[in-house]
Structure 1
Amino acid sequence: MPAPTHPRPHTVTLANGLRVTLRHVPGLKRSAAALRVAAGSHDVPLAWPGLAHFLEHLLFLGTERFPAAEGLMAYVQSHGGQVNASTRERTTDFFFELPVRAFSGGLERLSDMLAQPRLNLDDQLRERDVLQAEYVAWSQDPSAQQQLALYEGLPAEHPLRGFHAGNRDSLKVELPAFQQALREFHQRFYRTGQMTLSLTGPQSLEQLRVLAEQFAAALPAGDKVAQAALVPLAVKSYQQVDGPHGNLLFAFDALPQSSAEALAFLCHWVNSAKPGGLLAHLRQHNLAEGLKASPLYHFDGQALLHLHFNAGAESLKVIHQQLLDWLSFFAQQDWAALREEYAAVQQRRQQISGALQLARLDSEQLQNGLPDCAAEALKNILRELGAVDNFAAHWHLPAANPILRANEPLANAGLIRGQTSAHRGLRTFAQDRSRGRRERSPMQFSQTVPGNGDEGAIYLRWQLDAAASVDLQARLQRSLQQIRQDASEAGVEVSFSATGNQWLLKLTGLQEPMPSVLEHALKCLTSVSADSPRVEPEAPLIPIRQLLKALPDRCLEPVGASDDAAHLWATARWDGLALGFNQQSQSAMGLALSRIPGQPDHQLSAPCAIKGPYLWQHIDTTSSEHAVLLYCPSASQDLSDEAAWRLLAQLLQTPFYQRLRVELQLGYAVFSALRQIQGRIALVFGVQSPNAQPDELLEHIRQFLNSLPALIEQMDEASLSQQRQSLADQFDAAEIGFREAAELLWQARLASHSSDYLERLVAAIGALDRSTLLGAARRLLDAEGGWLCLASAPAPGAPWQVVK
């Protein structure tokens, strides 16, 4: 993706008071909108906590013009886009991303739902039960409770100490006073003067402005109004301890303008793990293994800065002293080089961001980098934090990011652990290929995605004698921490995953730094030993997320595990796929490719999938909430089956959500989606419920699926044709983003499809008719591809077979 032609978006205030930011980015394939309302949970009447969050939910339930089945959520889903909303303390955000051709329809629905909500009482009663289910899950979620506990050092009367999500007790929808408060809140804040609209896309600024004016025309006009008055934070700092985790919190009541940029800059450098910094010192002295600094809250001069440490209470006092010493050091430094690097990091991130990320960034209305006014604000913040003139001599500023600055090859270009002499030929394989050598590298440079842009993607896969043990996986992940951070700052995202006995290293983003990133990542992964430090355990997930995390491994035949990294690398076999690289950039990959451990192999197979019509795996989620995840792969790898499964997924998404979440109110976590695991395509249905048992949830899913043939039969030809065309358009080269295309092509390789996969998939979708779709629905209902159910309870009995 080329760098944005406008580093900052164009800003204008329309005649009716709506503030608009417009960003034209020619390389984007999609458009996005982010609408921010300057009103949030802290602005509602004290008698009705949760009202702002409740209203956000209600706005998605349809209007007279666009009922729920035709509203924004259903519309975006039917076009393969993204949509969501968020209510925070002082803001409420609505945002979506769509193909350019469908973007105006999304804006039309968003403006209508904001301006003309039905606020029907029956809808309110049903949605209150959804929020009640959210509340039950939230009250039992350790992470959520830990987050709430962070505010306990503040005065009891400050709204940060309150409950703002809403539940059955706080949302008295039956009372006239509540209904009056709900409508008054909407009328007061959902006005143009209280809103900011951010639009991003490949359209010209003039085209985006026309769309913004059309959007604004449907909204009630009104001036900006004052939000609820601030309650003083009234403390300077305090600490919280939760077992092995320590938290230091610093409160500010009267920060100057640009303090948001100042805090972001400070947190960026506090979080650096490089030698000479705070985290490196804490690790060296066994005081803390991890550190994360972030602003928890910021509004109108008030802020709460949070520093989280993987350390217990006994270390927290010493950590606090070391923090103050580092802050004193930092306050006395010349930040010129850090400001330059920080601005470069922000520019790189914007360069690889999609339309939705850019639109949401613009809605924050922050300046780039650390401008002079923010530097002055930072000096004030550091004084308030207790920075002084004296500090220890061992501190020094972090070294410049080597990935961000230049593509310098690593030292010691010889063979690494697990590598054989066969790899030496890969060092110049691009030149070898031009000389007509018969052998070819298992790293395939695909020409399916044009190599004339800035983006690239590398998928590198190893097949091993055994799966990595949990401990080894943790050590491998830990080894990548620093390169992952450096690469991210340089515009490359690095991920490493293990599924069964296969490992996958994936790099996506700007292709220019990728050879260096790949070299560093391989060096880190192959340096892991039994003495390498472990990773801190992750925070517990809610039940449905636990099932989703377990799914990739549980749908494969189990394999033995090993903790011997050296042996696994030495016996590994590998292949890969690179996309977006032209001839010159392919040549630059030669040195990195020469360092891939293991034996190159052109014919790696996918791990074996478990087989059986009805398989059940119990996963203990240690929660009182119940969850079910039903995985339904297609009956074959044929493209006609894949096309049918994709269309079924599109047709089912909105009705499934409507039936199980809105009508049956089983819980707030309800979804259906299409997933690809190791090249195998599948429909996935998930539900988490505070009340219904897993066997009940599964029965509701089955009943819904039994109605699928009737749903297909009842569709008129025009609707079916529209759904088919909408799906086909999502794979059109003019609309599909680079990263989405790269992931699809990698999955196609795993499924042994040819390089013209995308064109053949579009043709297969176009060939679908009602009869073939009904046939696919029957194969789904008959579990011809097998059904796998992951659940938080043991199997209910026949026909389900227990998988251990």
Structure 2
Amino acid sequence: MVETRQLRLHKGLRVTLIHQPDAQQAAALAQVAVGSHDEPDAWPGLAHLLEHLLFSDSARFQGDERLMPWVQAAGGRLNATTLPRSSAWFFEVEPALLAEGAARLADMLAAPQFPSEAIAQEAAVIDAEYRLIQQHTPSRREAALYTRVSAPSAFQRFHIGSREAFGDDMAALKEALHQFHQRFFVAGETQLLLQGPQSLAALEQLAHDFAGRLPSGRAAPRAEEIRFLSQADIALTTHSPGALGITFYLHDFTHDVRDNVTLLREFLQDEAPDGAMHSLRQQAWAQQLTFSWLSLDATGSWLALQFDTEQPDAVCAWLAHALRALAHTSSAQRAHYLQLAQQRFAALTPLDQLRERAFGFAPPAQTTHFSALLRQLAQAPQARLWSAASVQGEATETQGFSLQLQPWTPGHFHGALPPLRFHPLAHRHAELTPPADRAPLISLAGDAPATLLLRPPFFTAVSPADAAAIDRRLRPLFALLRHQGGAGSWREAQGVWQLEAQLPAGSEGWLASLPDALRLDGSPPAEPPPDDVAIRELLRQLPQAVAARSATGRWRAALYGGSPEQQAVIAQWLAPLARESDDPCPPPRAGRCLTVAHPSRDRALLLFLPAPPEVSLAALRALALLMEPRFFQRMRVEQQIGYVVSCRYQRCADRDGILFALQSPDVAPDALRAQCETFLQQFAIAEEAERLATLQSRLCAQLTAASARAEKLQRALRQAHGLRDLGRASVDALTPQALRQAQAQLVIGWPGAVALETRCVETQ
């Protein structure tokens, strides 16, 4: 059972501790109440630059011992973000490493060294980010909304940072960083969140150790309520599909009321038949709805709902209609949707749960304040943004962007608004007859509920277009399954699109709908629009380039848990989808170089280097752990290639290998590829027994973490088809010689790499 404790330590540090007994990972997040709005006028982008620089040397930890390379070497995750009124740094590692990570996090916040070379490097990186973000549609939409604020003036200010904004006087910039840091990075402005399987007492001790590194103090109050212009609605010219943002400013917003926004999101994103989101899709008014906070602090909060739509007038009318309907929901319905929101939250990793808590989307403990939220939304000042290619705006320079804006007012909607139905509903179960045949179904003994995994044959790939079409058909089925006590997902894992579903008793009707939902259409479906970030678009395209062939429409099935009777029924319902096959393993595509058209002017390269069969998975994955921080150091820090730099182990379309990812504003893909090859050739592997033991420990931790039902089912399917997986014996047998042999084999196999690179295509 999850236990939570909140504290305020003697220095003023606010602490949230979460004991999660079954957690396979542990996480920490430090949030400081300082953001881009707090920068001196003379130094726009200073908060963003400081966010980057805190990952450089601190008083106690330099070089490879800094938090970033240390977490990378441990196979963990980390990141940071600068918001208008706060900044946060966070990481996730195996539980045994949480104390070491928290010590590094505390030291980098309390005692950064600001090396001059690091300042110059990160200023260059931020300048490259600024150039990239110029064409980033979500950032442009956010900047357009900020023009609707009349106060505070900080919303109108340039805050990303650039080489020009930082100037050439490194001494003056360093002094500004010191002063900014000393003013705000004190215990009274900081909140620490810790989560893991450790006891609350152990987590509290970590918090006390963390607080010991921070100076005492509070900064002077400085937050100011947001006020909108009298004409608060605006339209923006974009090259992306149409989108409507509807924002609300909520005054005097307590945490109890704020957390109910997560419950509101659960109601409005309901994709079950006749649910709120399903009604939008059925009317072809919108395909997606996302929630975000544009600003979040003690004085008030600015909430944004964004709809992907070409019908802004209808959506504006629909939202008002939906909020009125929610005011009449019963206590049983609110309790039901709250349970769904809590289940969704519980399924997140510890790090993602901390992010939701810190950034305003943790579910409430109860529904008591939901009516208060609805009343505040009804009375809240609004600012709305309609963005589309059809908008004929006038050029406006604001916040470092060149935007085409025009005044806009949604028109009056005269159509009929669809009725909305909220669960729980009374269901009448129709009698269904399953097929006579049975699908081949690998079954693993386990606790109920039964968990089903469906994936395409090995070494095949579902195209992005087919994956998007299947996703649209599965969404209402998954939503209905959640209302029935189950859960489902359609996601890409290791380059393979797969369905995972927890099936409660009585799921026959749901199973009967799967063949139609999972069909691969004969005619090519419409391609989804490219991702705004070039490297992410290449990642989306990679499985198709690595796979031996396209998916055939037949599926491999495995089941964890469930009674023998339930297993037999499930096998019958899967008969139209899964059939016997030996799944021959043809050689994968290799030695390919594909060019992907993309509107970004950046040069992006994704290079997947498959490992030859003679390279053990333990050696491959250990080598990747060694290379990741050093690759980052060489490309990102020493050579300043760009802002996306990654080298890691990757399984893609059932092939194991090393994945290099680079995105640069200046360096051509051919040069990036040469840099990767040189790095691999020159990489030196040390002999230290201590380093080897650390690698083995990290790999064993990854084995332990891969204990979820989906991972067990994946392993069972791979074993049934003669494919290998990481095992404890190969980890124990790891030697420096095996690492060097793996490196040599990868160097020899370099011509077999699959490379994807971008080619700039100007948008019209």
TM-score (norm. length: structure 2): 0.85
Deviates more, 1:97-106 or 1:482-491: 482-491
Q: Equivalent of 1:555, from 532, 536, 546?
A: 546
Paired amino acid for 1:764: S
Cα deviation code 1:762-792 (max 9, x no counterpart): 2212222222222221111111782222122
Match of 1:506 in 2: 499
Structure 2: distance between partners of 1:84 and 1:128: 18
Deviates more, 1:229-238 or 1:96-105: 229-238
Structure 1: distance between partners of 2:621 and 2:509: 35
User: Does residue 709 of structure 2 align to residue 690 of structure 1?
Assistant: no
Structure 1: distance between partners of 2:154 and 2:746: 50
Match of 1:41 in 2: 36
After TM superposition, give the deviation of residue 482 of structure 1 in Å. 1.7
1:342-381 equivalences under 5 Å are 342-364=337-359, 368-369=364-365, 371-381=367-377
Paired amino acid for 1:522: L
Cα deviation code 1:423-454 (max 9, x no counterpart): 2xx6xxxxxxxxxxxxxxx321236xxx35x7
CA contact (8 A) 1:49 1:163 kept: yes
CA RMSD across the alignment:
3.7
Aligned length: 723
Residues 1:721 and 1:358: Cα distance change in structure 2 (over 3 Å): same
Residues 1:236 and 1:762: Cα distance change in structure 2 (over 3 Å): farther
Deviates more, 1:516-525 or 1:624-633: 516-525
Cα deviation code 1:202-250 (max 9, x no counterpart): 1111111112112221222223642443453345852435564142433
Structure 2: distance between partners of 1:152 and 1:535: 35
Residues 1:721 and 1:283: Cα distance change in structure 2 (over 3 Å): closer
Match of 1:575 in 2: 556
Paired amino acid for 2:376: N
Aligned to 1:170, the other structure's residue is in SS state helix
* Gapped regions of structure 2 (runs ≥ 5): 383-413
Paired amino acid for 1:140: Q
Aligned to 2:235, the other structure's residue is in SS state strand
CA contact (8 A) 1:645 1:776 kept: yes
User: Does residue 70 of structure 2 align to residue 70 of structure 1?
Assistant: no
Match of 1:783 in 2: 749
Q: Equivalent of 1:250, from 247, 250, 253?
A: 247
Q: Equivalent of 1:327, from 323, 328, 335?
A: 323
Paired amino acid for 1:626: R
CA contact (8 A) 1:233 1:253 kept: no
User: Does residue 736 of structure 2 align to residue 766 of structure 1?
Assistant: no
Paired amino acid for 2:514: L
Residues 1:793 and 1:538: Cα distance change in structure 2 (over 3 Å): closer
1:5-16 equivalences under 5 Å are 5-6=2-3, 9-16=4-11
Residues 1:371 and 1:82: Cα distance change in structure 2 (over 3 Å): same
Aligned to 1:140, the other structure's residue is in SS state coil
Match of 1:436 in 2: none
Cα deviation code 1:591-615 (max 9, x no counterpart): 333211235215223464114xx43
Q: Equivalent of 1:718, from 684, 689, 708?
A: 689
Structure 1: distance between partners of 2:758 and 2:583: 34
Paired amino acid for 2:688: E
Structure 2: distance between partners of 1:284 and 1:111: 50
1:130-141 equivalences under 5 Å are 130-141=125-136
Structure 2: distance between partners of 1:469 and 1:35: 39
CA contact (8 A) 1:33 1:197 kept: yes
Structure 1: distance between partners of 2:51 and 2:26: 23
After TM superposition, give the deviation of residue 364 of structure 1 in Å. 4.9
Structure 2: distance between partners of 1:556 and 1:466: 5
Structure 1: distance between partners of 2:17 and 2:213: 19
Deviates more, 1:666-675 or 1:40-49: 40-49
Match of 1:665 in 2: 640
Residues 1:536 and 1:53: Cα distance change in structure 2 (over 3 Å): same
After TM superposition, give the deviation of residue 684 of structure 1 in Å. 0.7
Structure 2: distance between partners of 1:530 and 1:776: 42
Structure 2: distance between partners of 1:103 and 1:770: 27
Deviates more, 1:106-115 or 1:455-464: 455-464
Match of 2:399 in 1: none
Paired amino acid for 1:593: A
Cα deviation code 1:170-197 (max 9, x no counterpart): 2236255533332122112211111111
1:642-661 equivalences under 5 Å are 642-661=617-636
Structure 1: distance between partners of 2:214 and 2:612: 49
Paired amino acid for 1:629: L
Structure 2: distance between partners of 1:92 and 1:162: 17
User: Does residue 736 of structure 2 align to residue 745 of structure 1?
Assistant: no
Paired amino acid for 2:212: A
Aligned to 2:218, the other structure's residue is in SS state coil
Structure 1: distance between partners of 2:139 and 2:452: 36
Q: Equivalent of 2:652, from 673, 677, 681?
A: 677
Match of 1:634 in 2: 611
Deviates more, 1:391-400 or 1:84-93: 391-400
Cα deviation code 1:127-186 (max 9, x no counterpart): 111111111111133343234333333338643343322111222362555333321221
After TM superposition, give the deviation of residue 635 of structure 1 in Å. 0.9
TM-score (norm. length: structure 1): 0.81
Paired amino acid for 1:644: A
Match of 1:400 in 2: 423
Deviates more, 1:240-249 or 1:662-671: 240-249
Structure 2: distance between partners of 1:791 and 1:545: 11
After TM superposition, give the deviation of residue 745 of structure 1 in Å. 2.1
Identity over the aligned pairs, expressed in percent? 27
Match of 1:437 in 2: none
Residues 1:347 and 1:524: Cα distance change in structure 2 (over 3 Å): farther
Match of 1:479 in 2: 473
CA contact (8 A) 2:286 2:308 kept: yes
* Gapped regions of structure 1 (runs ≥ 5): 427-441, 562-567, 795-804
Aligned to 1:26, the other structure's residue is in SS state coil
CA contact (8 A) 1:58 1:119 kept: yes
Structure 2: distance between partners of 1:722 and 1:255: 54
Q: Equivalent of 2:379, from 370, 380, 383?
A: 383
Cα deviation code 1:25-53 (max 9, x no counterpart): 21112221111111111121222121111
Residues 1:523 and 1:577: Cα distance change in structure 2 (over 3 Å): closer
Residues 1:464 and 1:228: Cα distance change in structure 2 (over 3 Å): closer
Aligned to 1:272, the other structure's residue is in SS state coil
CA contact (8 A) 2:460 2:548 kept: no
Structure 1: distance between partners of 2:753 and 2:522: 39
Residues 1:68 and 1:338: Cα distance change in structure 2 (over 3 Å): farther
User: Does residue 55 of structure 2 align to residue 80 of structure 1?
Assistant: no
Structure 2: distance between partners of 1:765 and 1:643: 5
User: Does residue 562 of structure 2 align to residue 592 of structure 1?
Assistant: no
After TM superposition, give the deviation of residue 69 of structure 1 in Å. 1.1
Aligned to 2:640, the other structure's residue is in SS state coil
Paired amino acid for 1:506: L
Structure 2: distance between partners of 1:499 and 1:113: 33
1:313-324 equivalences under 5 Å are 315-324=311-320
Structure 1: distance between partners of 2:717 and 2:136: 34
Match of 2:410 in 1: none
Structure 2: distance between partners of 1:538 and 1:488: 29
CA contact (8 A) 1:619 1:790 kept: yes
Aligned to 2:150, the other structure's residue is in SS state coil
Deviates more, 1:207-216 or 1:124-133: 207-216
